[in-house]
Amino acid sequence: METVVTGRNCEVRFGQELPTVFIAERINPTGRKSLAEELKLGKLDIVERDAIEQTNAGAHIIDVNVGAVGVDEVDMLPKAVKKVMEVTDRPICIDSANHKALKAALNVCPYKVLINSVNGEEESLEYMLPIVKESSSAVICLTMDNKGIPNDPGERLEIAKRIVKRAESLGIKREDLVFDPLVMGAATDGNAGRICLDSMRLIVKEFGVSTTGGFSNISFGMPDREFLNVNFIIMGIMAGLCAPITDVLMKSLAPAVKAADFLAGRDAYGMNYISMYRKK
């Protein structure tokens, strides 16, 4: 099973048997005051610069999130998506919980995007899944519902089952469902990493689907976040992680992931691993 998304001149594929794909996370005002201030003023200079920088750093897909207090998402999300499409040919991941903003953004994008996200809550299933179907998009599915985020991996799997059932009843294909077993901060819950990866293994075993997750969430409040983030992504790869949402500007990310893909059997004959050394 392979998930496909498209950009202006390219197609990006990911799945259990394919090399890891990076969803670049930096266009997100959460925890980034300068970007939040700019978006409030209706400006897109940082968005433009981030899109270019992340593309040059090896981003496969660009996540676009403009949600912040004082920002009109319905107005700004399509503008940001347009700006990103102007400066990069990469596929886009539209990151918004606001279905009106999501629709507006889809209207300006002629390619197959990744919608971020739907979850197990009735309201989310009701609003988001028809948009996914109508726009022929792929969608990130969060294993949480109206009761919150379960600590038990078996319960996260149950939520995943409900989402698969609902999506398939609308005719959405399984390869267009990308599961996010939810990465929480390890600083506040020392078991967060293990619970997330155990959930991922269960979901992959049950459905064989593609997976993602906000892998930078693991290190909130900790020193040397890059070290923790990269190590957690490496652990994720052995548990079936296909396309982490991550900071592609981290220098140690790409070489570590090339090694992990090879060791996990996702890089036949180590061709990608070897070609990295040829370039050096």
Answer yes or no whether residue 31 interacts with ligand THG by CB under 6 A. yes
| For ligand THG, the closer CB: 88 or 229 | 229
Q: How far is the CB of 8 from ligand THG (least distance, A)?
A: 23
Of 222, 278, 215, 280, nearest in space to 20 by CA: 215
| For ligand THG, the closer CB: 175 or 272 | 175
| For ligand THG, the closer CB: 135 or 219 | 219
Residues 46 to 85 in contact with ligand THG, rule: CB under 6 A: none
CA-to-CA distance for 243 and 15, rounded, in angstroms? Answer: 8
**β-bridge pairing 2-6 and 11-15:** antiparallel
Q: Which of 50, 73, 176, 180 binds ligand THG (CB under 6 A)?
A: 180
Rounded to 5°, angle at Cα 168 from 24 and 20 = 25
Answer yes or no whether residue 32 interacts with ligand THG by CB under 6 A. yes
Task: Please identify, among the stretches 8-16, 30-38, 51-59, 186-194, the one whose residues bind ligand THG according to the rule CB under 6 A.
Answer: 30-38
**39 close to 68: Cβ distance less than 8 angstroms:** yes
Answer yes or no whether residue 38 interacts with ligand THG by CB under 6 A. no
Q: Which of 19, 150, 193, 214 binds ligand THG (CB under 6 A)?
A: 214
Task: Please identify, among the stretches 13-21, 210-218, 233-241, 255-263, the one whose residues bind ligand THG according to the rule CB under 6 A.
Answer: 210-218
| For ligand THG, the closer CB: 53 or 158 | 53
Half-sphere exposure of 83 (CA within 13 A, CB side): 22
Answer yes or no whether residue 140 interacts with ligand THG by CB under 6 A. yes
Q: Which of 64, 92, 183, 218 binds ligand THG (CB under 6 A)?
A: 183
Helix, strand, coil shares of the chain as percentages rounded to 5?
Answer: 50, 15, 35
Q: How far is the CB of 213 from ligand THG (least distance, A)?
A: 6
**7 close to 89: Cβ distance less than 8 angstroms:** yes
| For ligand THG, the closer CB: 114 or 257 | 114
Handedness of CA 198, 240, 162, 128 (dihedral sign): positive
Answer yes or no whether residue 95 interacts with ligand THG by CB under 6 A. yes
Residue with tokens 């269960």: 202
Tell me the two tokens of residue 26. Answer: 């930096």
Answer yes or no whether residue 211 interacts with ligand THG by CB under 6 A. no
Q: Tell me the site size for ligand THG, rule CB under 6 A.
A: 16
CA dihedral 101, 70, 249, 193 (to 10 degrees): -80
**27 close to 248: Cβ distance less than 8 angstroms:** no
**Residue 187 per-residue DSSP state:** T
Residues that bind ligand THG in the complex, under the rule CB under 6 A: 25, 28, 30-32, 95, 116-117, 140, 180, 183, 213-214, 216-217, 245
